[in-house]
Chain A
């Protein structure tokens, strides 16, 4: 089994465009979109949904007004300040259950809330596991874990040896849930001071969890000097820069028509370099030609 996640630290560096192209190049692989709070991979892969499941990420306190004697013990005990004027603020409530435990009247119950949905779909490149977190919901890390479990099941059911993951930006819980147990993190960056700074933190995170990484510099010709500094810094850190994708408006054109760029325009400058990157990834992981 080979699990490859495209991550970045900084948002908007091209993770999804790259992941979609890798899916097209892999031919047969399970694709997983782990950027559950702003998922966009489906815009390029056009999945047909097969099944949907509810995701109950956290519980929510509810006060029974009939039983409540307004003693306010719950308000005092809640460390998230989620109970004010004996009303539960669903945004602040973390569902820990302290209020229900402390209430002398047994007037507080914790109910389940549907925080999102997980989907199993089919695409023209293979099965896809993805999800949608509902607006203003917490626990995206748990939903990522569910998407990963579903991807695992799909790989077994379809007999596929590769799982390609489109990761979320940042370094927090959804990213950690994305990196856990993978074989290779492909970190995409851009040659900007911000991109460089955020890449460093993303690579540190991968190192922290003992995950092997390699780097792709996207739009490298926006600032060649910065691109060189990134390459030099990666070399010192023992991380390979496997591709330098030039700035190419074709990538945005492909997004507008809703296709991976390698499919929309196989011979454009960006596609050629993405294909090269995929070859390198395959050789790093010894991915079979037909998997």
Chain B
């Protein structure tokens, strides 16, 4: 079972929900932090890392001896990652999507590919939790390849939780795609509500089932509740706005560690998701 945690708006509590849920569950469980631009779950889990590997993407390499500067590669490249100016071919590896099109169209076979490192995948363990996270190198624009490598770490017949990045575009789609259920963490404010709606549209497009977790309940207004009611979106858990929870968060402490009474709530959250998937 693969459950993703997403939100649209940043800072609503995705990592809080993902981390506290895996720590509350018994038995084998895996957490994949796919927010590779700004991964945070490791701050809370403090895992023992036993494997680190680089993530590579293929980028074109031009053989200047063979190239006759015909410009077909540049013309083909949809992403403007190659430019031919006079007798010079410029490759912009940061924006190359690695489609391999330039190799195909080069009439003189002057293009080969070389690997470029864009980030890292780190795997380890924290208590009973198998933990994997990705880190995009600073300056690299495309998180997709790193997210895909993190997602390869799922195992058959294992429960895994995916912590997604904020937003609603490609990195989020890459992260939640293929999950059996998505937990949407929101806060009861106009911003939380606005981005929740966008995420609901995204998940409908992706045909992924979803339910809502309301974090910082008590602040803002009641519109998130009205919206979920009218759209028949289940609210599976509410976490109140409490100074103690915020303070534990600020120090990187998962709040179920200091407030173990919450473990039962996260276990029932997991059970409700399981039930919804089985339907």
Contacts and interface: CB of A to CB of B under 8 A. Distances in A.
User: A and B from one assembly?
Assistant: yes
Interface of A: 8-13, 16, 35-38, 40, 43, 58-59, 77, 79-80, 91, 94-98, 101-102, 133, 135-141, 168-176, 190-194, 197-198, 201, 204-205, 208-209, 222-223, 226, 249, 252, 255-256, 258
Interface in B80-129: 97-101, 104-105
A170 B169 contact: no
A194 B42 CA distance: 10
B170 A38 contact: no
Contact of A40 (B38, B171, B194, B251): B194
Contacts of A38: 8-10, 166-168, 194-195, 198
Interface stretch (B135-143, B150-158, B227-235, B270-278): B135-143
Contacts of A102: 104
Given A37-B169, A252-B189, A11 B138 contact: no
A10 B219 contact: no
B170 to A, nearest CB: 4
A134 B106 CA distance: 35
Contacts of B138: 171, 201, 204-205, 208
Interface string B7-35: 01111100100000000000000000000
Interface string B185-201: 00001110011001001
Contacts of B10: 8, 10-13, 38, 169
Given A38-B198, A135-B205, A139-B170, A256 B220 contact: yes
Nearest to B253: A193
Of A37, A38, A58, the most chain B CB neighbours within 10 A belong to A38
A79 B75 CA distance: 20
28 contacts: A10-B40, A11-B10, A35-B167, A38-B8, A38-B166, A43-B194, A77-B100, A77-B104, A79-B99, A135-B205, A136-B169, A137-B170, A169-B37, A169-B167, A170-B143, A171-B136, A172-B141, A190-B11, A197-B40, A198-B40, A205-B138, A205-B139, A208-B139, A223-B247, A223-B251, A252-B189, A256-B189, A256-B190
B198 A135 contact: yes
A59 B78 CA distance: 9
B177 interface: yes
A174 B10 CA distance: 15
